[in-house]
Amino acid sequence: MSRKALQFPIAPAGHDADGRSGAPAPILRFSGVGMRYGRAPETLSDISFSLPSGSFHFLTGPSGAGKSSLLKLIYMAERPSRGLISLFGQDLATAQRRMLPALRRRIGVVFQEFRLLDHLSAFDNVALPLRIAGRKPADYRLDVAELMSWVGLGQKLHAMPATLSGGEKQRLAIARAVVSRPDLILADEPTGNVDHELSLRILKLFVELNRLGVTVLIASHDQDLVARSGMPALRLDNGRLANGGDA
């Protein structure tokens, strides 16, 4: 991927174009959180940690440790069975239902299975969050094209998802997750289905986003990638934070 392609054209909301922001404050806080599905034993137990605004962390642990479940709690796809979660300074347990869509719009999620819409072009998949938000195509066409160029898909604007490689689909999913200028990016095993070289390229995209002020949390079992990144990691083991949640 070229150096030019890594020049993210859109400054995230709440930050200057060069990524400056005020003093870091917790953008996310878990306090004694537990989660279970139905009457089964807890999937997550006594989870307590916080993420400062503008930070970059990995969430690691073996398969089945609860990484995906923890991410679902953050983007509000699931609710905790106990404990408190604070997101952007708002206690989710007491937040009014009408406030939740605005909170969700501040989060970009890169799903492990991509969740692209096969009947839409690559461009339209990326633009979908903006269309849902009521933006007019004339207002976002250039931004979306520049963003796709930034992730190395500038020549794939009209391609259909079925014609893209796994790595291209992953980068397309990243573009869709950041097109709305979120404050927090969550990625679930974003390098799980690509080779080592492409893993490093995808990591570089997330590092560039973080440099612009976006808070990043990546769930990954790739210990080599975590080590290469030099970023701190929260480790889940049997539904508990093995490192005590020191973020």
In the chain, DSSP assigns E strands to 26-35, 44-52, 56-60, 82-87, 90-91, 107-110, 184-188, 215-219, 233-237, 240-241
Stated length of the chain: 247
Residue 140 has pLDDT above 90, yes or no: yes
Question: Does residue 229 register a pLDDT over 80?
Answer: yes
CATH for the 4-11+25-241 domain, from 1.20.1050.10, 3.30.70.890, 3.30.1780.10, 3.40.50.300: 3.40.50.300
Q: Residue 235: what pLDDT?
A: 95
**Per residue in 15-37, pLDDT tens?**
443 444 455 679 999 999 999 99
Per-residue pLDDT tens for 168-207? 999 999 999 999 999 999 999 998 877 888 888 889 989 9
CB count within 10 Å of CB 88 equals: 18
DSSP string spanning 41-107? PPSEEEEEEEEETT-EEEEE--TTSSHHHHHHHHTTSS--SEEEEEETTEETTT--GGGHHHHHTTE
pLDDT surpasses 80 at 7: no
Is residue 120's pLDDT more than 60?
yes
Higher local confidence (pLDDT), 9 or 45: 45
Residue 247, pLDDT > 80, answer no
pLDDT computed for residue 84 by the predictor: 96
pLDDT number for residue 193: 73
Domain boundaries, the chain: 4-11+25-241
pLDDT of residue 195: 81
Is residue 29 within 8 Å of 73, Cβ to Cβ?
no
The pLDDT, as a whole number, for residue 11 is: 43
At 23 the pLDDT is 54
Spatial strand order in the sheet of 44-52: 44-52, 26-35, 82-87, 90-91
Determine the pLDDT at residue 182.
Answer: 94
